[in-house]
């Protein structure tokens, strides 16, 4: 409704995240309406389930901001690559540090333009060897990958938090057995109630952590796909157009 078909393709990464985020909001609302959220908080004596939910919401917001940034960079990269394909003859730096083409137009600011600027600066250094920007591509890959590190850590940490909750729940479940000194019905009933509470804690934390980890994994998987696509556009544009043009100058 607000962008052209070409721009809609650019924002496909963001739209994927928005679909997942919308489903998360609907699921949380349904869980709250059914009373499952209150039940989870009530049965979890360790409050680890609440911690998992808060971490999950925070990580989802972080993934959203990272997806917006990656989507913008993809938009810029596609437009820069299209401009370079139309006029790949010459590249130079202006006084302001912008990358200008042969027709006098300048490239949009972004990751791809920063990389091309670094390649141009490297090409100025006198050398008998062919221009190689492999190290610059490795540095770019590390920079793009650093945006995913927080998500990778959280996705890996949530199941471990669930495991901690499972262990604590089993401890709470087995602890009442030690205090049984008689087998009268009242004592056994109290022990069974405590054991049920411990089991509920273990299952609640484990289930919450696993579901949160799976959904976050999906979100960061989409972000990783966009990051890989961005890196590929930069590599292809630089190798096919920028480097050959700089070597012939």
pLDDT computed for residue 127 by the predictor: 63
Residue 47, pLDDT score: 82
Which residues is 101 bridged to in the sheet?
91
Strands (E), the chain: 91-93, 99-101
Q: Rounded to an integer, what distance in angstroms lies between the CA atom of residue 233 and that of residue 76? A: 11
Which class for 209: exposed (0-12), middle (13-18), buried (19 or more C-beta within 10 A)?
Answer: buried
Domain residue extents for the chain: 5-157+218-248
Q: Are 195 and 173 in contact (CB under 8 A)?
A: yes
With H, G, I as helix, E, B as strand and everything else as coil, classify residue 11.
Answer: coil
For residue 180, the model assigns a pLDDT of 60
In Å, what is the CA distance from 89 to each residue of 123, 131, 179, 248? 15, 17, 84, 9
For position 120, what pLDDT does the model report? 84
| Predicted local distance difference test score (pLDDT) of residue 1 | 46
DSSP 147-168: HHHHHHHHHHHHHHHHHHHHHH
Give the CA radius of gyration of the chain. Answer: 27
Model pLDDT, residue 59: 92
Q: Which residues of the chain have pLDDT under 50?
A: 1-3
């Amino acid at each position: 409704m607000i962008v052209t078909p070409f721009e809609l393709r650019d924002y496909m990464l963001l739209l994927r995240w928005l679909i997942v985020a919308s489903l998360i909001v609907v699921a949380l609302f349904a869980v709250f309406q059914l009373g499952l959220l209150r039940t989870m908080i009530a049965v979890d004596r360790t409050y680890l389930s609440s911690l998992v939910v808060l971490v999950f919401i925070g990580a989802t917001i972080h993934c959203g901001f990272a997806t917006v940034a990656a989507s913008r960079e993809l938009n810029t990269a596609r437009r820069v690559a299209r401009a370079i394909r139309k006029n790949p003859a010459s590249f130079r730096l202006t006084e302001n540090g912008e990358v200008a083409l042969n027709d006098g137009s300048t490239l949009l600011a972004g990751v791809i333009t920063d990389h091309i600027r670094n390649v141009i600066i490297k090409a100025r250094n006198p050398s008998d060897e062919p221009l190689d920007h492999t190290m610059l591509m490795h540095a770019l890959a590390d920079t793009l990958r650093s945006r995913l590190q927080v998500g990778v850590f959280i996705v890996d940490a949530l199941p471990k938090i669930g495991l901690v909750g499972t262990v604590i729940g089993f401890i709470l479940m087995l602890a009442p057995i030690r205090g049984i000194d008689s087998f009268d019905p009242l004592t056994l009933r109290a022990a069974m109630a405590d054991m049920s509470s411990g089991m509920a804690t273990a299952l609640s934390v484990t289930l919450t952590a696993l579901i949160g980890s799976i959904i976050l994994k999906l979100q960061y998987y989409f972000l990783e796909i966009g990051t890989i696509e961005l890196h590929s556009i930069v590599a292809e544009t630089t190798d096919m157009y920028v480097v050959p043009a700089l070597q012939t100058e």
